[in-house]
Amino acid sequence: MRIVVMGVTGCGKSTVGARLAESLAVTFGDADDLHPEANVAKMSRGEPLTDDDRWPWLDEVGAWLAARPDSVIACSALKRVYRDRLRAAAEGVFFIHLSAPFTAISARVEERTRATDHFAGVDLLVSQYAALEPLQGDEDGLTIDIAHAAPAQAVEYARQVVA
């Protein structure tokens, strides 16, 4: 199964995704590593990416998924059309949306910005919440409220659903 752990910046995609991949003994990837330098520079300035910025990146993520039938990747996948593009690139994609209120995530992002050199700050988070389209009933996936679940709990719940 191909699993995309999705959500806004700072929701725990990389942490939960890596732990889930380890627990399932499958390959893990982070879609942030597939962004072209121009996208990273833009986000570092607090500028949101446009759809035109995202299409080539999403194609890279889709190719990554297509080449790895048993894998987990952390990827924002904020809009339905982005998820549709990933589904078109690779069969059997299952989405796990890590969801929480803005206030909970913004505190995490502020802390991460102080502690690391991650390119995504609170300015980017605002635009991501504005763009976010939660999973719809006809999409293969689940939503986990991470405001009230530690990463280990999110991983265990996801593992039970996908195993």
Rounded distance between C-alpha atoms, residue 17 and residue 158, angstroms: 10
- pLDDT at position 126 is 84
* Structural domains of the chain sorted by starting position, each given as residue range(s) with its CATH number in brackets: 2-162 (3.40.50.300)
- pLDDT at position 127 is 84
Residues in the chain: 163
Task: Count the alpha carbons within 13 Å of 75 in the hemisphere toward its beta carbon.
Answer: 30
- pLDDT at position 114 is 56
- pLDDT at position 151 is 92
- pLDDT at position 45 is 80
- pLDDT at position 116 is 57
DSSP the chain: -EEEEE-STTSSHHHHHHHHHHHHT-EEEEGGGGS-HHHHHHHHTTPPPPHHHHHHHHHHHHHHHHT-SSEEEE----SHHHHHHHHHHSSSEEEEEEE--HHHHHHHHHHHHHHS--S--HHHHHHHHHH--PPPTTSSEEEEETTSS-HHHHHHHHHHHH-
DSSP 56-100: HHHHHHHHHHHT-SSEEEE----SHHHHHHHHHHSSSEEEEEEE-
- pLDDT at position 22 is 98
Query: pLDDT 10s digit of each residue in the chain, 163 long?
Result: 999 999 998 899 999 999 999 999 999 999 999 999 999 888 778 788 899 999 999 999 999 999 999 999 999 999 999 999 999 999 999 999 999 998 888 876 766 555 555 555 567 788 889 999 999 999 999 999 999 889 999 999 999 999 8
- pLDDT at position 62 is 98
- pLDDT at position 99 is 96
